[in-house]
């Protein structure tokens, strides 16, 4: 797909690329040079205060919790007092 470098060195991405990568206005793209080629890769930007939730440790514990819920390994109580009593048993 041939594109011309326009004013301010901008290019327009072809509609086919936009659709196939499910891109939207204001999405972030990482642009770098590799082996004398321009590589453009979509990126998801995670707010700094949310980054912990995407760590391997958090994801592992989240998967374990999901598995516990799926297998019924949960405790249900009506209030915190009863929950702490149950945990002490």
Q: For residue 69, what pLDDT is reported?
A: 94
pTM of the model as a whole: 0.57
pLDDT in tens, 12-34: 999 999 999 999 999 999 999 99
Question: Across the strands, what pairs with 34?
Answer: 37
Q: Into which CATH architecture does domain 7-43 fall?
A: Ribbon (2.10)
Domain ranges of the chain: 7-43, 48-88
- Residue 88 vs residue 28, higher pLDDT: 28
Q: For residue 40, what pLDDT is reported?
A: 96
pLDDT tier, 77 (very low <50, low <70, confident <90, very high otherwise) = confident
CA separation for the pair 37, 30 (Å, rounded): 14
What separation in angstroms does the CA of 51 have from each of 10, 45, 63? 31, 10, 17
The answer, yes or no, to whether residue 88 has pLDDT greater than 90, is no
């Amino acid at each position: 797909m041939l594109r011309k470098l326009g004013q301010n060195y901008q290019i327009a991405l072809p509609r086919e690329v936009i659709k196939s990568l499910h891109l939207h206005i204001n999405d972030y793209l990482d642009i770098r040079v590799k082996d004398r080629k321009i590589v453009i890769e979509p990126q998801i930007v995670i707010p700094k205060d949310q980054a912990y939730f995407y760590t391997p440790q958090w994801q592992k514990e989240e998967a374990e919790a999901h598995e516990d819920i799926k297998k019924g390994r949960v405790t249900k109580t009506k209030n915190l007092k009863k929950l702490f009593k149950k945990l002490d048993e």
